[in-house]
Structure 1
Amino acid sequence: MFSMSTADFARFIFAVGALLLAANVLGYIAERLTVPRVIGEVAGGLLLGPTLLGHFFPHAFNWLYLGFHTESNLFGFLSEFGLIMLMFNSGLKFKHRFEKQDAKIGISIIVASTVIPFIVGWLATYLFNPAQFLGTDNNVIALKIVIAISIAVTSIPVIAKIFSDLGIMHTRFSRIIVGIAGVHDIILFVALAIASGIVAGHQGVNAGLILESVGVTVAFLLFAMLLVPWVLKRVTSKRANFVFRASFLGYFLFILLLLSDIAGYLNVDPMYGSLLAGIATKLALPERLAKRVEDSVREISFAFFIPLFFGIVGLQLNLATNFNVGFFVLYLLFATIVQTVVVYFTNRAIKLDKLTSFNLAAAMNARGGPGIVLAQVAFSIGIINQNFFAILVMLALGTSWMAGSWLRHVIKSGKLLIAGDENLVVQKAQEEVKFYEPDAVPVPEKV
């Protein structure tokens, strides 16, 4: 019943292997060039997708990725599973507490960088014809919500990876930005879940449907962030909890799948359930166990599922034919300027210096993973077409590159990212595994 032919399976495994290899190798090369890894992983999909391989060698592309009628469904499954693993990892990075002296900065930026860019993005849809970017569902309200989110969204995984690469993950600047990004994106993903619920309703757009979607999404948010952690705190370590005793990691993956499934049944996108599953796990566990879950999930996620997700995003892009370069440049400038101006002047209003204000604004512009998630979800449920899908993906990649480049420049110039990091000591993680080190071979002890 759940079988497939040996030939089809062999072809699918070969296609997955080729994409995984391209995503990981180009991701590694991107990191060596001081570029966010996600850019290289998407480039792996561009290399093997219709943009390059499909454009110059269409028969090879069709044989590899469209070789049998269910192959696209299998890649769709891998993409969706990679997405929920990415969002689960993002939730596990959630920081719900600011240091007392940082609370004013955090709250000010969260409010300003969420509300104002969202409103500006919504109003911007009256300056051009958004109908040109409508997807198969033909829902203008949902499209406007997606456009508004794309102006405001910030990336937790990418900005955290940039900080890790720069060796500043332990700094005050990093703590503030990661904390802001966590709360900030929860709010914006509520808006995306509402747009998803409107589309899933298939009833046309009316006030009742919008209120229902808002009510269900907010209720699910409260359930996942209040009730689920409360329950987990009380049942996880019980001796009668044989699921936890059977498999530490399997237990939390079950929670991930359960909340994703509940979200799907409520017409809230499953990726939102996976994000909240990560947050609920983080809130429920002591720091030591939460770190253990994060480390365990990260290993398999960032080696397999997440590179494949970004690679499949690249496979879906066709920059050779479905990409409006002129509009993209204008959209990139608009989104960057709006978020930069809002965050910069918010920080100046609370008496931060000019450089610190601009550094925080640059970091908040990295749209990275959540920007790509926004594009993928909106495209997969028919809110946007392939042209706007490409624009949103390239927006996420371009802004992440710019943010990382600016922060790297500030550190190399010896300037402060923020007051409080005067004695900054760069603490870079080990960049690669040394498999052969002749000088490090242990000498046997004498008996």
Structure 2
Amino acid sequence: MFDFSSIELSHFLLATAILLAFAHLLGFIAERLMIPRVIGEVAAGIILGPTLLGYFYPHAFSWLFAGFPQEDRMFGLMYQIGLTLLMFCSGLKFHTKFKKGDGKITSVIILASTILPFALGWLASYLIDFGQFLGPANSVFSIKIVVAISIAVTSIPVISKIFNDLGIMHSRFAKLVIAIAGVHDTLLWVALGIATAVAGHGGPVTAGAVLKSVGITVGFILVTIFVLRFLFKNLTIRNGNFLFRASHVGYFLFIMFVVSSVAGYLNIDTIFGALLAGIGAKMALPPTLFKRLEQSVLHISFSWFIPVYFAVVGLKLDLAKHFDLVFFIQYLLFATLAQSIIVFLACKLIRQDRITSLNFAMAMNARGGPGIVLSTVAFSAGIINQDFFAILVMLALITSWLAGSWLRFVLNKGWRLMPGDEDIVPEKINNDSDIIHLQQQIKREKLE
């Protein structure tokens, strides 16, 4: 019990090392090519997975990732922990404080980019036969919600990384997009929680079952935020809180896992609990403590668990057998145009200039991490099959690439992002600065 042989351990550690190394290496190369890092991390799984290695060398793929009976489940556990930490980190990026004058822009774009694309996605499920993409849960209602979310979702982690890479995180435009995406995606995660709850219901979809799922999800949100706010504000920094005194990060991870567990027992997806734990920490913790938490969690998450999560997503893809290229191109055009046109018109409605409206339209199309999370959660819940899983993952990757390329083009042209950013100077980050500093420090130590 709780044990396996040294050979099995060695094999699993070797497979993990190879997967992690590929994820970091291809993520690094992607960044050098001005591509979002997540694309390189997923590409690592595609190369090592059934799409390439498994297709040309199936025995090598099976030996590496199915070398003993429980290896796939061990990778599944790391995959789930990475997903949980990704959602917790996304919650830590949540932002609701807007400067005076920005409230109108954010409110209009949040409403427009959430409600209208969601409604278009829902209507599309009546015009397009998505029955071919139904998963084992056989829930037509749930797949309609997934399709609607896939049209509307935006990625906070990826769009934040794009802004960092471009050196415009300090711009008014970047701050507004991140704030909008935070509120916008939280609303969509509520819809995903309802979809997974209905899919797990097992019986026929009735108004009562849907209302019950909505009630449980909304009640869970309200109670969790209230409890976490009270906990973080009043009971965390206390002499009697020995768990917090023992390990600050351990204390917050404990809360994250407990909240996620409660969500799972309520038939709400566990990642929703992790997201709320992150939001609660963002809303209630003092700035100094929050920064310490954020730095610690982001460091361990993005160095190990999250890259492995995205790489395992690539391992799950089998583009050689389960990918309809023609349908994907059609779906990509529909999703991109739907979100872009709606956000563009919403911006014009509040009298934003053409280039500002276009910038918001392109930025809100970066589906990135949340788009991949949507696909993995829906696939795990049996809502969609492997064909649609592949389409949603590729949709998230391509739209993130397009958003980053457009914003880079705008900056290279010398165009402003939006009013207030006329004199913005990109703060270029030298990715090699840490290595250079480390080399200099080692040289000084040798001289001493």
* TM-score range normalised by the length of the shorter chain: over 0.9
1:145-173 Cα offsets, whole Å, 9 max, x none, are: 00000000000000001001111111101
- Give the equivalent residue in structure 2 for 1:434: 435
- Residue 214 in 1 paired to residue 210 in 2? no
Q: Give the AA of the match of 1:359.
A: N
Correspondence list, 1:183-222, <5 A:
183-222=183-222
- Distance in 2 between the 1:310 and 1:334 partners? 25
Distance 1:133 1:285, change over 3 A: same
- Shift of residue 289 of structure 1? 1.6
Instruction: After superposition, give the CA deviation of every residue in 1:318-342 in whole Å (9 maximum; x if it has no partner).
Output: 1111000000000000000000000
Q: Which residue of 1 aligns with 2:357?
A: 357
CA separation of 1:221 and 1:72: change in aligned 2, threshold 3 A = same
Residue type at the aligned position of 2:383: I
Verify: 1:255 aligned to 2:255, yes or no. Answer: yes
What residue identity is the alignment partner of 2:151? I
Which segment is superposed worse, 422-431 or 206-215? 422-431
Pair 1:64 & 2:64 matched = yes
- Structure-2 separation of matches of 1:267 and 1:443: 56
Q: 1:290 to 1:30 in 2, by over 3 A?
A: same
**Residue aligning to 1:32:** 32
Quote the offset at 1:72 in angstroms: 1.3
Q: How many residues align?
A: 446
Question: Which residue of the partner structure matches residue 399 of structure 2?
Answer: 399
* 1:421 counterpart SS class: coil
Partner of 2:408: 408
Structure-2 separation of matches of 1:418 and 1:37: 26
Q: Mapping of 1:95-114 within 5 angstroms?
A: 95-114=95-114
Q: Aligned runs of 1:133-282 on 2, under 5 Å?
A: 133-282=133-282
Q: Which residue identity does 1:128 align to in structure 2? A: I
User: Per the alignment, do residues 252 and 126 of structure 1 end up closer, same or farther by CA in structure 2, a change over 3 Å counting?
Assistant: same
Residue type at the aligned position of 2:166: L
Residue pair 2:24, 2:41 contacting (<8 A) in 1 also? yes
The more displaced of 345-354 and 10-19 is 10-19
Corresponding residue for 1:88? 88
Which structure 1 residue ranges, 5 or more long, are not aligned?
A: none
C-alpha deviations, 1:17-40, integer Å up to 9, x for none? Answer: 111011110000000000000000
Letter in 1 for 2:274: S
Aligned partner of 1:365: which letter?
N
**Counterparts in 2 of 1:75 and 1:438: CA distance versus 1, 3 Å:** closer
> 1:414 deviation in Å?
0.9
Letter aligned with residue 14 of structure 2: F
User: Which letter maps to 1:48?
Assistant: L
Which whole-Å CA distance do the structure 2 matches of 1:249 and 1:164 have between them?
A: 25
Quickly say closer, same or farther: Cα 1:437–1:444, change in 2 above 3 A.
Answer: closer
How far is the alpha carbon of 1:232 from its aligned partner?
1.6
Structure 2 CA distance for partners of 1:443 and 1:91, relative to 1, 3 Å: closer
Identity of aligned residues (%): 54
Q: Which aligned pairs between 1:300-315 and structure 2 lie closer than 5 A?
A: 300-315=300-315
1:51 offset after TM fit, Å?
0.3
Mapped partners of 2:13, 2:381: distance in 1: 27
> What is the alpha-carbon distance in structure 2 between the residues aligned to residue 91 and residue 300 of structure 1?
16
Measure, in 1, the Cα distance between the counterparts of 2:166 and 2:410: 11
Q: Can you give the 5+ residue segments of structure 2 that lack an aligned partner in the other structure? A: none
Q: Structure 1 residues 100 and 55 mapped into 2: Cα distance closer, same or farther (>3 Å)? A: same
The whole-number CA distance in structure 2 between the counterparts of 1:396 and 1:413 is 26
Partner letter of residue 312 of structure 1? V
Q: RMSD between aligned alpha carbons?
A: 1.6
What one-letter code is carried by the residue in structure 2 that aligns with 1:308? V
Give the CA deviation at 1:204. 2.5
Q: Is the 8 A contact 2:137 2:200 kept in 1?
A: no
Match of 1:100, SS state, is: coil
TM-score (norm 1): 0.97
Q: Secondary structure of 1:12's partner?
A: helix
Taking a change above 3 Å as real, the CA distance of residues 443 and 60 of structure 1, as seen in their structure-2 partners, is closer
How far is the alpha carbon of 1:229 from its aligned partner?
1.1
TM-score w.r.t. structure 2 length? 0.97
Residue 15 (structure 2) aligns with: 15
- Opposite residue 15 of structure 1, the aligned amino acid is A
Q: Deviations over 1:259-295 (max 9, x none)?
A: 1011011100000000110000111112222111111
